Amino acid sequence: MKQINGGVCAAQGFTAAGVHCGIRKNKTKRDLALIFSDVPASAAAVYTTNLVKGAPLLLNQQHLQNGRAQAIICNSGNANTCNADGLEIAAQTAALTAQALGIEKEDVLVASTGVIGLPLSIEPFVTGVPLAAAALSADGCDAAAEGIMTTDTVKKEVAVEFELDGKPVRIGGIAKGSGMIHPNMATMLVFITTDAAISPAMLQKALSADIAETFNMISIDGDTSTNDMVTVLANGRAGNPEITAEGTAFTAFMQALNTVNVQLCRMIAGDGEGATKLLECSVTGAQDLAAAKAVAKSVICSSLLKAAMFGADANWGRVLCAIGYSGAPVDVSKVAVSFRSAAGEILVCKNGAGVEFSEERAKEILLEKEIEIVVALGDGAAAATAWGCDLTYDYVRINGDYRT
């Protein structure tokens, strides 16, 4: 497997575009993204667990009943959530996109992100969708990645190439996510494309299994979004024998999907609203996977720990505190904690108690941009990883006037 360029356009048969259509007041900011497969594709999606769901998600659940799709249209700046005519707007957007591309409206998936409860007009889509369709390009991933951003500070895109039954296959993705990021799925927008041939059922199986280890293990601020989803389109253009059951090919596909998703997870977590550091909590020695996940999530969600990491303060007691209220079965007397970064690693807790360490050396390690919180439970063989970011003054500043 190797890293390649191209994001959602890396796979054969996919083009993308990003344009400004007028949803955002800033005319220099792209606010509409389009991804298109030149042939119908197997499709799968996972949606937010929030009971309040954006209208596009409700429409997509209808459109994906047959497991097929050919295009994704996404706007930023308005979530199209809690609007009286939201479902109608989403349906009209799908119809406009289908007309511009010459495909069936049921083969269009719709996504929106931005302010909740803000009225949304169809007019920007009437002018914007044809512009986006005309701008579709094999080099359009960068523009599409910008078109889905809200408070994101960087575009998030990745792609890899691997082999299935001797055929080169590509899989790539783009993502947006900076705030309202919290387990469980989906808590951001992620669009993935691949030219692998895989049945809708197996594609859904692969996605549902992988998000449990990737996107469900991110937390920025404890708020689960109303709108977001992870979607995969697989158009089969690579020419490999279609994956219809578990086996070697399915395992290889899962590994490639996981590689893409983990990288997107790290990008999302590191770009949390106001964040200055990516935090990764690696838990080993848990009794079972559920316990490992519970501990990793609890640590990464701790506001006190996140604030300590912002200040480069090796306050390991906050890690123990988060482990203690995680609900996981843990023998605290066996727990060890270390902090690790590009500057090195330092042990701060062993057998559930503090050990002597240099505060100056710890600060050097915690001043890096990527920090790993290493937790060894000593109770078993299960492991899990979760991702998050530090909690800064800027998080409050950004969200204090997000709507106005």
Catalytic residue among 113, 187, 194, 214: 187
Pairing of strands 108-115, 370-376: unpaired
d(CA 366, CA 72): 40
Measured distance CA(272)–CA(297) in Å, rounded: 16
Could you tell me how many residues make up the chain? Answer: 404
What is the token pair recorded at 284? 């080993």
Long-range Cβ pairs for the range 343-347 (8 Å, 24+): 343/367, 343/368, 345/374, 346/314
Task: Put residue 369 in one of left, alpha, beta given phi > 0 → left and psi -120 to 50 → alpha.
Answer: alpha
187 carries an active-site annotation: yes
Cis peptide before 184 (omega within 30 of 0): yes
Instruction: Please list the active-site residues.
Output: 187
